[in-house]
A and B are shown apart, each in its own frame.
Chain A
């Protein structure tokens, strides 16, 4: 069976704590992330956008509801299978501390493949390295790279195993705007030129503008979606959240 969604969550509820002190981080969110699309998740801090990403990516489990990567229901997987799923079918780009300091650039890119003991597709990886423009840095250690370069390595790592979906959590949060642009451009190109799927959490309208679609979260609920976003439109929508209702 083929599907057009790379990942989706249905009626996702995540409660931290119990009883009166319980916090509903996600309160019945349903959202699809279609194949070949670059989706941005936006919302003010505390809106549950990071929780949504963690649950959709198999880093965290839902209190109720379902999360799927492709056709796989994540709730049916134990820790080991979840790990293998993350390794083989999901890519990650975090805000900071993306790379293993003891491994070289090349080894960091190949890390998920090496952990799986897989060869991967050498042509694909070679192409990736060229796309991120780090061919001359392959044998450097992360500490010898700039922040932007480090994030580009992380992007290459995320795509190295040709995963179903790449989740990026504030990938430009720690970068200056020029480096940020580069990383976002890379993500966008990967989606458009190679039909990959990217889900990115951000609070930066400029970053969200690189996506095909933006979903807005507030208080753990999905409140809006916007296709063909621009920085201004996103900014306007975000400002609406700040007006007390």
Chain B
């Protein structure tokens, strides 16, 4: 009994010892091979590092910003226990924040009588843009430019007076400190506030918001309550909301409960906390979410590119080690052991690179936190918020990407036949197999089919997107098939230009189609995304151009920035003033209103329809724009079809002041574009108006008046109304597209990362290839190839691989750009134009080729340094 136990324990011990030994051997093997091939994994390490760092940096920065905004709003509104406001908001498509009906300021006295209320103050808000010392308006390029009444109860005012005093007389204002600094304004300065009517104001105080110089980039101007009512609201007695402070011992919820019974129908009370949360949410959804999503997409692209580079490195390293692994197998290593050794190697690289990436990402976030204030963006102070998610997610993604990329090569290692140890070389030259060609072509056909269906037959962004993914997949599968032909064609001129050096470079690139394709794929994806954005940007510009040239029949336009909520619009009196000029035939101002049309929130164009018809091409018009009057409405054919309305039908509009009115459809027009989907007259809008502002003023001159002459006259008049820009038709079209260039620049900067990773991949593959061809390079040197020729040969190979990737990327990018444009066209109301910008795309191609030449530099110089004799003697 005892003996048996001992025996079995011994056996168990032996077994576990041997298992441990096996594991140790595996680990030892991979560690030693890692150490021996440090250089080979430098590229892999960098690729994972960059991707993870970018991802982690984005997450940490997002969390930190969100937390900072939370704190800021919390601080700013800590004294407000409840907010009273209209219960319903009208939200138009494409807007995150709805428009609320104003509340009556008379309600303040009612509220003050409620037991438990310590104080209440109306919050009157509107748009107001300050003009800086240099005469240029401050802000207006995105974040809102707000003006409001300076609430005298310091606890209810989210802004705190930091310097100076509160406004007491008409024309005195308090400005948040960030805005004052941006406009180089100080206490005592007199400047203009566009509300949008220009208003002379004197700065008497500077304010902070929640301890910061401002609420991010939002500008705020606080005026006396009388001024605010006069300039920011349609009529006195209206406020956006009422801030309420509770007396001692009354909780926020108790306050709300007590307020609710005294409020009229359609007006609600919410707690201060709820209001702060809504504000944070709003800024998060408008700015942060967009910002972080944008960055996350780009780290995704970078990591996708990295996948190809990493896979390639492992595939090559494994191929080169075939003999070594075969020897191990011959000596008795199991399939599992050699596979595990390779995977262990990948894990080691993945974990170190990802961990380094986390550190790098935190560094990036810290750097940005320091950098942002320097470029005028008040990144709130506070510690970096490093959540578990923002650490574990990038780590997991990094390890997954690395291991996933190494998986196939590792499995291939396991299949190494022991006999392979006896074979000479083991470079994988396969690639252009029939099955691959068939699969790739099938995928391609499917991709085109799905995409075309999603774009043309039954418009669906999802279907089009799925088609785009399929297209990418088919490009990757077809890569090795195409690489042979493509390199042959692309490298054709090389033979003639560079003689035998060129021919050698070309044939080296042709050697292993799979490898060439995988290397090029990384660059292809980078270039494809760059071209996609280039094509989409150019198409957007072309669309703007087309829109303006097709529907704008005027000579000059006066407009406010075309994107974001910033700016204060144009003075509605500007149109009348311009109309009185002797040079002007028609001047029509377009204002913007909001209403619910048969229950759906819609943007209205408020204008003089008769003048509008003269300066805009509205397409085919059914009915007449002449007699809209105070109860008529005109709408586009598209909206008419969607709402099932025709001329003569009735539509019920609900305005932000809560009033409902029935309008008769008097005209249906063909082209919306600049004019908007619904048109009503100024007279019809007047009873429901909020702060008056026009967004666009279109001017056409009398016959015989030159554009320059007319423009000068309009400019002179405009100067008296806050000096907005006066633009010719071309300038107007260009400025409408101005934001696109800014977006593209940002996109290019971010994509540089992906291209950099692709470049590392090319360099890495080449370095490995050079290592693999040591003997051949030695032979070439022995029979008379100079170092310069050798370097040129490696560099040209690199350029060829890059050229293949770039060509594929351009084709794929142009196709995806077309898909995106067509999908946007068929799912949105406005017509999209498709444009292929030849100059920009040529530039993209040039960048791709340059990247190739750069990537070849280091491998080339390493190859040239080879000692001839050692190269010949290499086993």
Contact = CB atoms under 8 A, between A and B. Distances in A.
Residue picked from B510, B775, B782, most chain A C-beta under 10 Å: B782
Interface string A85-113: 01110001010011111110001000110
Interface stretch (B148-156, B349-357, B499-507, B602-610): B499-507
Interface in A22-67: 54, 59-60
Given A102-B504, A102-B507, A86 B782 contact: yes
A97 B504 contact: no
Contact of B776 (A87, A92, A101): A101
The size bracket of the interface on A is 20 to 34
B497 to A, nearest CB: 12
A102 B783 contact: no
Given A98-B779, A100-B776, A103-B504, A114 B787 contact: no
The size bracket of the interface on B is 20 to 34
Interface stretch (A76-84, A129-137, A194-202, A212-220): A76-84
Nearest to B775: A97
Contacts of A103: 503-504, 507
B780 A100 contact: yes
B182 to A, nearest CB: 61
B318 to A, nearest CB: 21
A84 B786 contact: yes
B779 A97 contact: yes
B869 A54 contact: yes
A212 to B, nearest CB: 25
A109 to B, nearest CB: 11
B784 A112 contact: yes
B781 to A, nearest CB: 7
A115 interface: yes
- Secondary structure at the B interface, as helix, strand, loop or mixed, is helix
A99 B784 CA distance: 13
A80 to B, nearest CB: 6
B776 A94 contact: no
Contact of B869 (A60, A99, A157): A60
Interface in A182-202: none
A117 interface: yes
A199 B768 CA distance: 36
Given A60-B869, A100-B504, A115 B511 contact: no
A107 B775 contact: no
Given A87-B784, A101-B776, A94 B872 contact: yes
A92 B868 CA distance: 13
Contacts of B504: 100, 102-103
B789 interface: yes
Given A86-B783, A86-B784, A98-B779, A111 B868 contact: no
A159 B787 CA distance: 23
Contacts of B508: 102
28 contacts: A59-B868, A59-B869, A60-B869, A83-B781, A83-B784, A84-B784, A84-B786, A86-B782, A87-B784, A87-B785, A94-B779, A97-B775, A97-B776, A97-B779, A98-B779, A99-B779, A101-B776, A102-B510, A103-B504, A107-B500, A107-B503, A112-B783, A112-B784, A114-B500, A115-B501, A115-B780, A115-B783, A117-B499
Given A83-B781, A94-B782, 14 more contacts: A59-B868, A80-B786, A84-B784, A86-B784, A92-B782, A92-B783, A100-B776, A100-B779, A102-B507, A102-B508, A107-B500, A111-B780, A112-B784, A116-B784
Interface of B: 499-501, 503-504, 507-508, 510-511, 775-776, 779-787, 789, 868-869, 872
Interface of A: 54, 59-60, 79-80, 83-84, 86-88, 92, 94, 97-103, 107, 111-112, 114-117, 157
